[in-house]
Each structure stands twice: as C-alpha cells, then as structure tokens.
Structure 1
C-alpha cells in the first residue's frame, strides 16, 4: 500500500502544482519525510496522512482508495475495501478502516468500521469541519475530545463536533471494532 499511496500523493501534489517544500510546511514535516512517503519508503501515520490530505485539498479516502468506486448501493461483508494503517501488516498497533461506503469525490457522508489492534493508538489530535458519531461494536475505546478522555466499551456510543481536537486508542487486550460515521467525508 505504501508505494501506491505515495504515488497518489505525488500525483495530487504535482497536479495542484505544489512543491514538496510547500506541502511539507503545511503538513509540519520535513521535505525529506514527504519525499520518502511519496517514494513508498515510509508510511505516514493516520494523523499525518490526514494533514497531507488537508494540505492537498482532498481527504484520506481519496488518497487510499485503490479500487474504482462500485456503482452498487450494497456492500457485501468480506467484499468491502479495507485500508490498513499498520504498514501493511496486522501487527499490534495497527489501525484498519473497513469502508462501509465506497469513497467518492463530493460525498457528504462517510461510514467505516475502525478496527484497532490491542493498544493501537491514533497519535496526535485531529480537528476539522463536520460531525462524528460512533458505536463500539467490540472491545474498548478511549476517545479523547480536547482535554477530556472517555473510556467506552461494547454497546457505548458517542457524538461530537469534528472541530473539537480528537484522538483515540484501544486501551484493551482484544481487538476493538467501532462503527464510525462522519460528515463530511474526511477519512
């Protein structure tokens, strides 16, 4: 995935006419790091990928979708696109997004199942326009909104304005699965 993701990032950046320096400054990373990502030699964290998407006026879904969007309104279990942010493995610490809605440019709603390995963390807070809601299907979730952390378990739900800086992690010893819906599409 790193190679294809890097190619997509480079393609979007060059189509916009942006330099490595300009995008790296907007993202808050070095030109060298951005170049390594574009060459598939490094994988960005989910937080960094979000910052790259914002700097390129797009979203994570558009950068990570490796297949053409399907025309069917139905997505069968086991056939949905899964994007892995654990450097291509399912090792401890990985975060995967199972796409419930095929990403398309201009869509207003995004729905995913966030799959977090035990102790997986989405480091750094993210803030953007929109609203988010979720439902913990399995395991545990620690959701941090601003300075306040909330420990959730299967059956718990949440809702917040996406403008509130937010991050999350799985503090448990089992895989966590969270139904996560946000608008507009961000990831």
Structure 2
C-alpha cells in the first residue's frame, strides 16, 4: 500500500510541490484508497515515477478539494461529483495515456551519447543542474515544456521525438485514450492528436482559468487556433486579441506571442502548428 514516507514531497521542474498519495489524503482529509478510486473516475491524473508512485500536482489537489466539498457538504456520490465538476468546467474528458518518463530518459541519454557530450556540458548549455539532467535520463524526474523544448532544440529534434522509441510508428487513427499527453505550465494540458513524420501538429489544449504561457515566445512556422469551449486571450507583441467559443485565429509563429485563459471555466482549444514544434 502506498503511504507517505514522512519525507518532503518532490517538486516538479517549475518548482511546484508534488504530493504523494498519503500526503494528498492527509491534506484532503480522506483516505488514500478513496483518492485512488476517484482517480479511476478521472478526478485526478497524477504523474507517475519510474517506480509507479503517484505524484499529485497542485491542480489535482484543487480538483480533489472541490470533490471533497461536493461529497461532504452536498452529499453527492462519485458519479454525481464527476458530472457536477464537468458542468462547472473544472473537469474535462482527457486521455489516459501520458508521455513516458522512462522512454524520455532513454532517448535523452541516447541523444547525448550520440552527440558525444557529457552531462556537465549539456547541463551548462541549457542552464539546468547536472543532478536534474541525470535524474531525467534515469526517468526519475519530470520536466516542464520549457525544459523539454530546450532539450529538443539542443539535440535537433521535436519534443515528441524525445518520448518515441525507435520502433514506434505513427498511426492514422487515434482514439482519445491513445492520445499522448503533455503537461505544460501549471493548469495547462496538451493532448497530441497526431505524431510522427508529419507536416502539421494538431493538439487539444485544456487550459485552466487564469493559466497560460508564462511569457512571450516565438519560433519558426505558423499556427491555427479554434476555441472549442471557453475563452482565450492572445498577445501578439503589443496587440491583444480576445477569443470566444467558436472563434478561430491564425498567425505567424515568429511573432512573439503569449496566451492566457481569462475566463472562470476551463478553455478547450484546437491548436495546430506547422511545422511541428513538439
């Protein structure tokens, strides 16, 4: 049975604390077994270490706290809680498969060895610690999208290539449960709808209220956005665009841009890049 060891929970690469299941249970005032049962219903989607330990993000804790309130105060059962959270925009349908940290580690080590660079050389080049990079290569650490992007650029590949084994091929038909999942900055999840040797890269972005890109960024290519639900604010240099449900948007990726969900509910966005950036 999983339980808190009494040690401080690790943090992710953004500095946010990650909670083991025992710590999450103590914080929420419910049992670890209930958290695991709720997880099966999609109320939490914890990260997994290479030893299969669950690590819950602050976003997971916020959803679970709301679930506890609905159970204790309103007396809702598990299915009713899921329905209510979806109605509130707190919870959405999401794929169950996430990009594997073990495969990431194997690929990072292979790419570094192929480039004949040491851990110290790569860490210094990217401005990260040697220990952090070493843990990434061993599958013991999670990395932010920003770090993954820098690693991919350093090795001349796309982010998804870091998680794809040499014998994995792209498939034309991808079911929701088969999508690859990337966690970006806090409150942002990206579901890849296609991958491999492709010219376009389609995603579903699920963006929590007030979440978004931490700063302006730019890269080669073009981007198309369609807001499936919710709102999205796009900053292109000094120009600001307010996107509502069913709005679409097209822009050159070289223009410095940042984005945020200004609404009170989760934003669901179809986002297509060409050429692929992830």
TM beyond 0.5:
yes
Deviations, residues 18-64 of structure 1 (Å, cap 9, x unaligned): 32233334433333332333333432221221111111100112123
* SS of 1:121 mapped into structure 2: coil
Pair 1:85 & 2:177 matched: no
**Consecutive unaligned residues in structure 2, runs of 5 or more:** 1-99
Structure 1 residues 19 and 125 mapped into 2: Cα distance closer, same or farther (>3 Å)?
farther
Cross-structure match for 2:93: none
1:113-128 matches, cutoff 5 A: 113-128=204-219
Cross-structure match for 1:90: none
Structure 1 residues 120 and 5 mapped into 2: Cα distance closer, same or farther (>3 Å)?
farther
Give the helix-richer structure, 1 or 2: 2
Cross-structure match for 1:69: 169
**Deviation, structure 1 residue 177:** 1.2
Structure 2: distance between partners of 1:172 and 1:60: 29
Superposition TM-score, scaled by structure 2 size: 0.56
Structure 1: distance between partners of 2:228 and 2:158: 25
Match 1:164 to one of 255, 260, 266: 255
Pair 1:143 & 2:234 matched: yes
Preserved contact between residue 96 and residue 114 of structure 1 (Cα < 8 Å) = yes
Structure 1 residues 177 and 117 mapped into 2: Cα distance closer, same or farther (>3 Å)?
same
Preserved contact between residue 46 and residue 122 of structure 1 (Cα < 8 Å) = no
Structure 1 residues 147 and 41 mapped into 2: Cα distance closer, same or farther (>3 Å)?
farther
> RMSD of the alignment, in Å?
2.6
Larger Cα-atom Rg: 2
Cross-structure match for 2:73: none
**Deviation, structure 1 residue 111:** 0.9
Pair 1:49 & 2:141 matched: no
Structure 1 residues 179 and 148 mapped into 2: Cα distance closer, same or farther (>3 Å)?
same
**Consecutive unaligned residues in structure 1, runs of 5 or more:** 88-92
Structure 1 residues 33 and 156 mapped into 2: Cα distance closer, same or farther (>3 Å)?
same
1:100-115 matches, cutoff 5 A: 100-101=193-194, 103-105=195-197, 107-115=198-206
